[in-house]
Amino acid sequence: MDQINHTGLISGFNNLKQLEMAVAAAQKMTGSATMSMDPEAIQNAEKTLQDAKAIYQTAGDTGVDQDFLSNQNELLLQCEHQLNEAKQ
């Protein structure tokens, strides 16, 4: 099984599925945080986004579907933009 470096957890998912799930979690956390505008929720969403970016970096090393990776990166950039707008 794969070990997730940033948490030490072991997962049965491959790198692409881990990335897909991490991006989905970042999107949900970002949406929730920006709707509530709770500072703690925004911090948690930023942490989730950073975790997803770390997984994205490792998934890119596998030389897989570039369209998939590009789409996931675009979603992460949208989350980052949304959080930046909420903090202003």
pLDDT per residue of the chain (88 residues) written in tens, 0 to 9 = 445 555 555 555 677 888 999 999 999 999 999 999 999 999 999 999 999 999 998 886 656 678 889 999 999 999 999 999 998 8
Angle (CA) 54-56-62 rounded to 5° is: 120
Q: What is the pLDDT of residue 62?
A: 59
Q: What is the pLDDT of residue 12?
A: 59
Q: What is the pLDDT of residue 80?
A: 96
Q: What is the pLDDT of residue 65?
A: 77
Q: Residue 11: is it exposed, middle or buried by C-beta count within 10 angstroms (0-12/13-18/19+)?
A: middle
Q: What is the pLDDT of residue 54?
A: 93
